[in-house]
Structures are given as structure tokens and as C-alpha cells.
Amino acid sequence: MWKILFLVLVFFVSGCSTNIKQNDTERGYHLDKSKISKSQDARMRHLIIHYTAVDDSESLELLTRGQVSAHYLIPSRPEFINGKPVVLQLVPEGKRAWHAGVSDWGNRSSINDTSIGIEIVNKGFTEDMLGEATWYPFSENQTYTLSLLAKDIVGRNNIPPENVIGHSDISPLRKSDPGPLFPWKKLAELGIGAWPDEYTVKKYLAGRSLGLPSSVSSIQNILSQYGYSKIPQSGVLDFETRKTISSFQMHFRPNDISGNPDAETESIAKALLEKYKGIESSIL
């Protein structure tokens, strides 16, 4: 009987020791990881996409020695090793990178605290003397590299599609990246980020022409519910409202980013709200 109790005691002690071992001598205390709380979730809730607006060397200089940073940098021409593209990790995911600045999405602000930032080397845009912008496309290798990286990040952190967004989405009054040529639809087809279902957009269009003016207050309300929480709720097409609508259009309707509230923009926003927030709007 005593032998059995002794063996049980030895087993219990040895079992505990498997939970209390690594680095205990370095810490000065024992850490038992055998019990895990169910009351927890991922700290990272957003994936933010940027362009650098400068070339490779300046991008790396700014992001490693300047006052801004990002978790990852995708070069203009990603190197491939054994058929796999090389991504530069500049900040560990467990640490906060300084990429979002003053920012809001949904009920959260200071998005640096809850996000992973990816910078892509891209010139962004140039303007002519009349103020007309020429945007620069992303290469196929950059898009491919981004798709692999983003899919991995989203999967590991359980980031929902509507929280895979651009810098212009979280800071529409200040930022325009990643711009209207960024392949949001292609990424969504690969399971990365949000995109509206075409049949739902048509449902909300209800036969209206795409460019038919829409209610400013309606679009302000819908965009606020979707995530653009700082858009005014005044019913007035002021500077802030137009810039926010333009940012939404850059993401989901890039062929026209004028910031005008039209039937197509409203219908896309309603389709997204239904698909990702479960909120069905009235058709008209």
C-alpha cells in the first residue's frame, strides 16, 4: 500500500515538474502553465495595408531609422528563394509598430494597439499641374507575396474580413494609401478581406442608375455602421464626409473616387453591411 502511495506521489510531483521547468532558474520564480483561462482572445484585430510612396532604399531607411515603422515590408521586386518570396519583418508581431497614427475603425481608436501593418513599396501617385492624379500599380509579384503573408496573418490571428483594411480606411482625412489600384477584389477572392456580393448590390440598386445622387445622411449612417465611425452624421456633404466617401470608394468602387454620394456607393455599402454585420437595410 505504501509503495503505491509513493509511486502516485512521485508521478504527481514529476507531472507538476513538466509544467514548471523552462527558464525558471533565470526568472527566480516558478511558472505553472498547466491551467488556461477561456476568457481571452487575439490581441491583433486588424490588418492594415499601406504603400510607402518612396523607393526601396528610402522605404527601408524610413521604416527602420525614422519615426514610423511597420511589421512587414514588401519590396518593389521581392526576391525569391527556392520559389518562395522574401518578406522583410521589421517589427515582431507581438510588439506595436507605428504605422497607423491617428486612426479609428468601428468602436476602436489608436489602431496601432490592435493591428499588424504591412507596407508595400509603391510610389502611390503623382499629380499634374491641374491636380489630376496618376496612380502607380502594384506588381504581380508584390500581390502574390502579399496574398501569402496576409492569408497567414489573418488565419493565425482570426482577423475578420471587414478588419482587413487600408490606411485610408482608418484615417480617411489624412491618408490615401493603398490607393484605388490596390487589388482588394482579387485578395477577397483568395479569402483575404471583404468584398460585396454582386447580387446583393443589385438588390439594393433596385433598378436605379449607378450615378443617381443618393441621400447624404443615408450614406453617412451606413458607412458609420460599417466601420467609418468618424464620418459626420449631419446630412451635409462637407469636406469630412466627401473624403470618407472617397476612401470607401477607393476600396470598393475604384473606378470613381470623386466622393459623391451616389446609388452605387450606397448599394455597395448596404451590401457590405448585410454580409459582414448582419444588418439588412431597406431597399430604398
Q: Alpha-carbon distance 174 to 161, whole Å?
A: 23
**Residue from 258, 233, 105 nearest 171 by CA:** 105
Q: What are the start-end ranges of the H helices in 82-226?
A: 140-157, 167-170, 184-189, 198-205, 216-226
- Alpha helix positions (H), the chain: 2-19, 24-27, 56-65, 140-157, 167-170, 184-189, 198-205, 216-226, 239-252, 263-277
| Cell representation of residue 265 | 456607393
Positions marked catalytic: 119
**Which backbone phi and psi does 82 adopt, to 5 degrees?**
55, 40
As a whole number of Å, the end-to-end CA separation of the chain is 81
Residue positions counted in the chain = 284
